[in-house]
Structure 1
Amino acid sequence: MLKVHEIFSSIQGESSHAGWPCSFLRLSGCNLACSWCDTLHAGDSFAGMSVADAAAALAALGLPLVEITGGEPLLAPETPHLVTTLADAGCTVLVETNGSLDISRLDPRAVAVMDVKCPGSGMEGRNDYANLDRLRPRDEVKFVLVDRADYDFAREIAARVWTRQMVHFSPVPGRLDAAELAAWMVADRVRARLSLQLHKYIWSPDARGV
């Protein structure tokens, strides 16, 4: 059974799909503890749900773009089956994953939006760097940054993949000013997108189910 924390529809706030209406399924539980985590509420609150019931609940929302997130969705053995079920139904499926677990288990039709944890997260040592070689053409890579040290780290790692993958640099609100990050990116001519969490500008940063 899937440990489902919440299912809702909203505007996709991140990735190259930002701005599109999207259905979300958030799973409970994570194997990391990032210093800037904004989904602590998903840690241990859930209802058990079968893959078939979860897919039906998402289909009932009527949106062709679906994201599976967490927590960490790849902790659930059922996640690859859910992704395949949704892809078979014609959905574009995004899987937001923290980069510590093997992404090759995912259906090739899915889009893995994979974090690489920077030092400021406190979790840099948990990165599975082999995932950089497992990325498929549609997959995307995200770096969440708290300071210049994180930026320099991200730029070095991102240079390994940005000729073939979409790369996002995302500042942690209240810890790294977006304008400052933008200036660094322009000065260094990095091949990455400045990614702001769109949903946190539309609604309160603390709002849930959006």
Structure 2
Amino acid sequence: MTKRVYKVNEVFQTIQGEGSYTGTPSIFVRLQGCPVGCSWCDTKHTWLIDPALQVGLPEVMAKRAESDYWAEVTPEALLSVFSERAYQAKHVVITGGEPCMYDLVPLCNMLQQHGYTSQIETSGTFEVRVPEHSWVTVSPKINMAGGYQVLTSAMQRANEIKHPVAMQKHVDELLQLLQQTATTDKLIYLQPISQQKRATELAIASCINHNWRLSVQVHKYLGIE
């Protein structure tokens, strides 16, 4: 049987700075590939999967700056990296790129078998293939350049919905999406784009108005990865 492999851009240990797990020591596994096309994306180096930029896992782990180099990695190899690096965190955040381009069931199950919890950060535009025990954060990307639609199935699978906002139309789009997908029982966070003052003020006011929660990207205020 062919082993499951994932295209990995980087792996690092830090503090989760967003959503319900804010402040939690976490291992981030960033996967390569995303066609969604968010204009404000801060990880555009993960968008394209260029075979010419494939390297080995040691080269990925040796990175000291953002790059579009990636490696094909098995779940077993990832676990070995966690051990070799002596990572202490037991919460693994699988992000991207767009992680739900991949079937994440084998990876998440192996993580659980070895004492880790898993969290997926997705745009909601691809089918979410994860076990029930995985925490799913949907950051719905509405009307992006790639033309992908946010899936009702992704919204309904979400444990939390974390929506980036810069202007009122972003709040209105979220309200419409929640109505269309009959999503009423989730934790909902608003996240100001790029920590802009105006966006932050809008997010605070909207959270109070709708009884939502605020996510402020704590890691960026702290100046950590």
Task: Tell me the CA shift for residue 184 of structure 1.
Answer: 3.0
CA drift of 1:142 comes to 1.5
- Give 2:115's match in structure 1, choosing from 68, 84, 90: 90
Give 2:70's match in structure 1, choosing from 46, 51, 70.
46
The residue aligned with 1:3 is 7
Partner-residue secondary structure (3-state), 1:10:
strand
Which residue in 2 is equivalent to 1:129? 152
Alpha-carbon distance between aligned partners in 1 of 2:162 and 2:206, rounded to the nearest angstrom: 17
Map 1:1-210 → 2, pairs under 5 A: 1-43=5-47, 44-59=68-83, 60-77=86-103, 79-103=104-128, 105-119=129-143, 121-122=144-145, 125-135=148-158, 139-158=159-178, 160-162=182-184, 164-173=185-194, 174=196, 176-186=198-208, 188=209, 190-203=210-223, 210=225
- The CA RMSD measured in Å over matched residues stands at 2.1
1: CA distance, partners of 2:183 / 2:113: 29
How far apart, CA to CA, are the structure 1 residues paired with 2:212 and 2:178?
A: 8
Shift of 1:192: 1.6
SS in 1 for 2:19: coil
Larger Rg: 2
TM-score (norm 1): 0.84
TM-score (norm 2): 0.79
Equivalent-residue separation in structure 1 for 2:21 and 2:120 (angstroms): 12
Instruction: Provide the rounded CA distance (Å) in 2 between the counterparts of 1:168 and 1:122.
Output: 23
SS of residue paired to 2:161: strand
Q: Percentage identity across aligned positions?
A: 28
CA contact (8 A) 2:25 2:89 kept: yes
Shift of 1:26: 0.6
State the one-letter code of the partner of 2:119.
L
Structure 1 unaligned segments of length 5 or more: list them: none
**Residue 156 of structure 1: how far off its partner (Å):** 3.5
Tell me how many residue pairs correspond in the alignment: 196
Where does the alignment leave 5 or more consecutive residues of structure 2 unmatched? 48-67
